[in-house]
C-alpha cells in the first residue's frame, strides 16, 4: 500500500544525461546543438531537392524523402528537451512529458526500421524485376507502404505506452539517460508483471530482427541478380543504385546492435547513454551526407538547388 501511494505522488523524472560535471555541460550543449542543426538542415535539403527536381519523383526518392522527414522527427523527440534542460540547469521532465517523449521516440524509431525495409524491397524490384518496376512500384503501392509503416509504428508505440502506463514506479525517479527510453523506464518500475516486462523488452528486438531479415533476404536476391549480369559496367551500375541504402542500413543496425549489446554487458548507465547517441543522433545526421556523397542524382539535385538559391536575384528597395 505504501508503494502504491508513492507511485501516485510521482509527477516527474530526472534525466541524468551523460555527465553530472558542470564543466562539461557547455561542451555537451554546443556539440548536440551543432549535430541537431546539421541533422535538420541536411535532411531538409534532401527533402527540398527531391520535391523541386522532377527527375527525382520516383519511388526510391519518395521513400528517401519520407526517411529524411522521419529522421528530423526522430532527433527532435530527444535532443531539444536535453538542450532546454542544460540551458535551464534542470534535469526534470514531467511524467506526462516523459511518456509522450517515449511514445514518439518509439513511433519514429520503428518508422526508420520499417522504411529501411520498404526501401530494400524497392531496390529488390528495381534490380530483380526491372521491366515490371514501374508497374509494381506504382504510386498507390508506394503510398500504401508508407501509410502501413505509419499505422504499424503508431500501433506498436501505443501498445508499449499503454503497458508502461500500467506499471507502478518506485520512489527512485532518476533515469540515467538523456531521454525517456523504454528499457530505462522499465528498470525503475516496482511492478512484477513478467508478461509486460517480457513484451517491452522483446517486441522492439523482434520487430527490428524481422525487418533486418527482410532486408537481408532482399539483398541476397539482389546480389544473385547482379552476379548474373555479364558486363562489369552493368554490375557496377546496378550495385551503385543500392550502395547508399546499404550504407544507411549497415549504420542503423550496427549502432542499434551496439547499444543492445553494450547495455547487456556493462552496468555503466552513462556508458549506455553515450553509445545510444550513435543511432539516435549520429545516424540521422549522417544519412544526408551518405546519400549526397554516394548518390549522383541527389548530389546533382543539391548542387542545382544551392546554385539556384545563391544565384537568386536580391530585390533592392
DSSP conformation letters of 170-239: -S--EESSSS--HHHHHHTB----HHHHHHHHHHHHHHHHHHHHHHHHHHHHHHHHHHT--SHHHHHHHH
- Tell me what percent of the residues of the chain surpass a pLDDT of 70: 87
Confidence of residue 84 (pLDDT cuts 50, 70, 90): very high
Residue 174's pLDDT is: 82
Residue 5 pLDDT > 80: no
Residue 7's pLDDT is: 43
Condensed to tens digits (0 to 9), the pLDDT of residues 292-314 reads 777 777 878 777 777 766 555 44
> How many angstroms separate the CA atoms of 301 and 155, rounded?
36
* Domain spans in the chain, listed from the N-terminal domain onward: 12-289
| Four-residue CA torsion sign, 270, 275, 277, 280 | negative
- CATH 3.90.230.10 applies to domain 12-289: no
Condensed to tens digits (0 to 9), the pLDDT of residues 36-78 reads 999 999 999 999 989 988 888 999 999 999 999 999 999 999 9
Confidence of residue 182 (pLDDT cuts 50, 70, 90): confident
Number of other residues whose CB lies within 10 A of the CB of residue 290: 19
Condensed to tens digits (0 to 9), the pLDDT of residues 95-113 reads 899 999 999 999 999 999 9
Strand partners, 93: 13
Residue 109's pLDDT is: 93
Amino acid at each position: 500500500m505504501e508503494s502504491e501511494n508513492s507511485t501516485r505522488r510521482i509527477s516527474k523524472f530526472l534525466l541524468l544525461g551523460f555527465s553530472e560535471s558542470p564543466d562539461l555541460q557547455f561542451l555537451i550543449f554546443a556539440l548536440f546543438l551543432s549535430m541537431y542543426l546539421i541533422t535538420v538542415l541536411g535532411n531538409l535539403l534532401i527533402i527540398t531537392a527531391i520535391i523541386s527536381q522532377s527527375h527525382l519523383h520516383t519511388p526510391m526518392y519518395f521513400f528517401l524523402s519520407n526517411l529524411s522527414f522521419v529522421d528530423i522527427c526522430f532527433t527532435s523527440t530527444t535532443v531539444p528537451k536535453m538542450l532546454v534542460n542544460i540551458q535551464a540547469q534542470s534535469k526534470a521532465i514531467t511524467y506526462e512529458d516523459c511518456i509522450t517523449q517515449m511514445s514518439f521516440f518509439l513511433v519514429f524509431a520503428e518508422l526508420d526500421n520499417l522504411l529501411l525495409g520498404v526501401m530494400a524491397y524497392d531496390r529488390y524490384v528495381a534490380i530483380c524485376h526491372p521491366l515490371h518496376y514501374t508497374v509494381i512500384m506504382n504510386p498507390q503501392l508506394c503510398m500504401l507502404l508508407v501509410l502501413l509503416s505509419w499505422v504499424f509504428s503508431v500501433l506498436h508505440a501505443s501498445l508499449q505506452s499503454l503497458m508502461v502506463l500500467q506499471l507502478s514506479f518506485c520512489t527512485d525517479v532518476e533515469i540515467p539517460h538523456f531521454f525517456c527510453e523504454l528499457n530505462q523506464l522499465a528498470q525503475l518500475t516496482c511492478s512484477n508483471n513478467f508478461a509486460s516486462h517480457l513484451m517491452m523488452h522483446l517486441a522492439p528486438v523482434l520487430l527490428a530482427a524481422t525487418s533486418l531479415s527482410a532486408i537481408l533476404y532482399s539483398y541476397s536476391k539482389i546480389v544473385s541478380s547482379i552476379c548474373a549480369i555479364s558486363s562489369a559496367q552493368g554490375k557496377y551500375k546496378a550495385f551503385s543504385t543500392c550502395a547508399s541504402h546499404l550504407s544507411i542500413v549497415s549504420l542503423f543496425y550496427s549502432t542499434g546492435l551496439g547499444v543492445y549489446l553494450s547495455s547487456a554487458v556493462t552496468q555503466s548507465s552513462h556508458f549506455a547513454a553515450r553509445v545510444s547517441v550513435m543511432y539516435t543522433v549520429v545516424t540521422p545526421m549522417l544519412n544526408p551526407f551518405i546519400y549526397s556523397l554516394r548518390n549522383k542524382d541527389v548530389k546533382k539535385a543539391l548542387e542545382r538547388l544551392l546554385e539556384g538559391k545563391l544565384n537568386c536575384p536580391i530585390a533592392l528597395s
